[in-house]
Structure 1
Amino acid sequence: MEQKPRLKLLDAQFDVHKLSSVMQLEDLQGNWFLSSTDEELSLVCESLNRELIKDSVQKSELNWRSIKVEGPLDFSMSGVIAGLSNELAKADIPIFVVSTFDTDYLLVKERNLAEALVVLKKAGYVFV
């Protein structure tokens, strides 16, 4: 990866949930990501949905912020997440990553956000 991608800090706060059952998704507001495996059903969504989904939640990790990698990213690109996660790992900042067809989202706990922004900017990443 020659040029570092541009980043955007999203305004919303996010939560990561393990769901006990499938729920109605059409009422979810804002950005959300659903994944299903043979072991679990997970939902990452904006915190404003907490009340709406509470009956389906088995376990939660609350208060994440999302740094969007400005896309669209080509599938042939390599090292995008590695570059970002390496910088944050050196600063002992844990992350959670969600990918879509066009781009990636790096989730950082709210309590680590200020430090994460400083680390990434020092590493040469530009926020738009």
Structure 2
Amino acid sequence: MTSATVQRLRLLPTEFVVEHLPGARSAPDDRWFALIRAPEGLTVIREHTAEGTGDELWTGFYGDSAHALDLPGMLVALVGPLAAAAVPVFVASTYHADVVLVPSPRKEEAISVLQRAGHEVGGPV
């Protein structure tokens, strides 16, 4: 891994749920963190709330500083080591960085994997 792809990451301060709304073109409310619209419907990433107790929870990592959109290898530098360790991921990209979600029960393992890959992982954004 090159020094250009080594990243400083922060844990996002809340847990998330990921929902799929088949055929939807817009979110039913404004309680979302990220929306991804695709031909098969809408994917919604929401902050976890107490009423969603049966949902699978995800922990988020976010780049601590923006990187250029044309800088190759930034996302693979994160998901590659996680994939090699069999840690599932869900990713949403922003203009500045990538939001990498891992199942919350695997948070500590993901932190360790990312640190071993040379990334710096800090506290909440």
Could you state the TM-score of these two structures normalised by the residue count of structure 1? 0.80
Counterparts of 1:52-91 in structure 2, within 5 Å, are 62-91=56-85
Partner of 1:7: 9
Partner of 2:95: 101
Distance 1:49 1:71, change over 3 A: farther
Larger proportion of helix:
1
Shift of 1:2: 3.1
Shift of 1:23: 4.1
Q: Deviations over 1:57-89 (max 9, x none)?
A: xxx962000011123221111101111111111
Which amino acid in the other structure matches residue 25 of structure 1?
D
Partner of 1:43: 44
Contact 2:114 2:121 in 1 (8 A): no
Q: Any gaps of 5 or more consecutive residues in structure 2?
A: none
Take 2:51 and 2:40, find their aligned partners in 1: how far apart are those partners? 23
Take 1:35 and 1:49, find their aligned partners in 2: how far apart are those partners? 24
Moved more, 99-108 or 17-26: 17-26
Q: Any gaps of 5 or more consecutive residues in structure 1?
A: 52-59
Q: Deviations over 1:72-120 (max 9, x none)?
A: 2211111011111111111111111111111111000011111111111
Same amino acid, percent of matched pairs: 26
Matched residue count: 117
